[in-house]
Amino acid sequence: MVRGLVGWLRRDLNRALTAGAARTPLDPPGGALWLSTWAWSSLAVGLTLWLACGYHAGFAALNDAGTLYPDWVWQWLTSIGGEGVPFVLCLFFARRYPRVFWALVLAGLVAVAFSRGLKPLFDAARPPAVLPPDSFNLIGPLHRRASFPSGHATTAAVFFGVLVYYARWSELRVLLVLVAVLVGLSRVAVGVHWPVDVAVGFWGGALAAWIGARLAARRPALATDAAVHLALVTLCGFAAVGLILGDAEYAQARPLLQALGWAALGYGVLGYLVSPLLRGLAAPRLTGRPE
C-alpha cells in the first residue's frame, strides 16, 4: 500500500503540474511591455537624480516623509524584500502555477548575479557612513557599505515583476508594482539606502524578471518536471523554516515573518502531501475497494 501511495503522489503531482502549466501562457499579452516600461522608467529616474542632483539626491525628503508612519510599517515592508521571503511566498502558488514558479527561480538567479556583482564593484557608502546620526531617521541595524544597488529593491522587483508579467488584469499589475515600490522606498525610510540605489535596483530586478520569464519559455518542460519541481519546493520549505527559527533583522517584523513561515510551510505540506494522500487513500485501487 505504501508503494501504491508513493506512486499515487507522483502521478497526482504530474497531473497538477501539467494542469498548472496549461493555466499560464508562455508569452502573456502585455507582460513584456509592463516590465520594460517599469525597468527603463526606473533607470531614467535613477539617472536623473544622479546626474542632476548627485548620488545622495532625494534621500532627506523621502527619509523625513517616512517618519509620518510607524516604524513597524517600514520594518514589515522592508522585510518582504529579504532574499528568502519571495521563495517562501512561492509555496502558496508553486503547485498551481509551476510555470510562474520556474520563471521566478530563473529570474532570481539573474538578479543575484546583478546585485551581488555590482555591490562589491562600487562598494558605495550608505547613509549611516556619510550623514551625522542625528540628521536622519534610522530604523533597525546600521549598515555602512555596499549600498549600490539596493538588494531589497532588486528582490522586490524580481518577485513582483514576474507576477506582473503573468498577471491577467491591469489592475492587479498596478497593485503589484505599487507594493514593490513601497518595499523599495522602505529602504530609504529605514535609512540604509539612497533613492538612486532603489531606482537602479528596480531596473535590474525588472530586467531580471523579464529574462527569467523568457528563459522559462525556452525550457517549458522543466516547469513540469516533478523531480526538479520538488527539489525547488523543498528549498522553499527550508527557507520557510529559516523564517520561523532565524533571527529577524528588524525586531518588529519577526512575528510577521514567523507567521508567514508557518503559513507557507503548512500550506505546502497540505498541498503536496496531506491533500494528495487523502485523495490517494480514497482511490478504490489503493484501498482495495471495488470500483
- Tens-digit pLDDT profile for residues 27-82: 899 999 999 999 999 999 999 999 999 999 999 999 999 999 999 999 999 999 99
* Encoded amino acid at 241, one letter: V
Domains (ranges, CATH) in the chain? 29-225 (1.20.144)
State yes or no: pLDDT of 250 exceeds 80: yes
Instruction: Assess contact for 151 and 117: CB atoms under 8 A.
Output: no
Tell me which DSSP letter residue 230 carries. Answer: H
Mean pLDDT, all residues of the chain: 92
Instruction: Give the ranges where the chain is alpha helix by DSSP (H).
Output: 2-22, 31-53, 59-66, 71-80, 85-89, 98-122, 127-130, 151-166, 170-189, 195-218, 226-245, 254-269, 275-282, 284-287
Average pLDDT value for residue range 238-254: 92
Q: What's the gap between Cα 241 and its chain centre?
A: 17
d(CA 122, CA 146): 7
User: In 3D, which of 290, 106, 133 has the Cα closest to residue 215?
Assistant: 106
Take residue 109 and report the three cell numbers written for it.
538567479
d(CA 24, CA 153): 26
Tell me which DSSP letter residue 270 carries. Answer: I
Instruction: Provide the residue count of the chain.
Output: 291
User: In 3D, which of 214, 208, 206 has the Cα closest to residue 37?
Assistant: 206
The confidence band for 7, taking pLDDT boundaries of 50, 70 and 90, is confident
Take residue 261 and report the three cell numbers written for it.
513561515
Q: Name the pTM for this structure.
A: 0.93
Residue 58 backbone dihedrals phi, psi, to 5 degrees: 80, -10
d(CA 97, CA 181): 24
d(CA 205, CA 112): 9
Whether the CA torsion 32, 19, 101, 261 is positive or negative: it is positive
Q: What is the pLDDT of residue 9?
A: 75
State yes or no: pLDDT of 96 exceeds 60: yes
The confidence band for 12, taking pLDDT boundaries of 50, 70 and 90, is confident
Q: Which whole-number Å values give the CA distances from 134 to 61, 127, 265, in the listed order?
A: 15, 12, 42
